[in-house]
Amino acid sequence: MSYIRAEEILPKELIEAIQQYVDGESIYIPSKEKQDWGTKTDARRFFQERNEKIFEGSLRGMRPFELAVRYSLSEKSIQRILHKQRIARTECVERV
pLDDT per residue as tens digits for the range 36-71: 777 778 888 999 999 999 999 999 999 999 999 999
- Full residue range of the structural domain in which residue 55 is found: 43-95
* 57: in domain: yes
Q: Is residue 28 part of a domain?
A: no
Half-sphere exposure of 66 (CA within 13 A, CB side): 11
Number of domains composing the chain: 1
Cα 14 to chain centroid distance, Å, stands at: 33
Instruction: Tell whether 20 is covered by a domain.
Output: no
Put simply, whether the predicted model's pTM sits higher than 0.85 gets the answer no
Flag whether 69 is in a domain.
yes
Distances (CA, A) of 62 to 17, 19, 50, 75: 60, 58, 15, 12
In a domain, 13, yes or no: no
Q: Per the domain annotation, does 11 fall within a domain?
A: no
Backbone angles phi, psi at 76, to 5 degrees: -60, -40
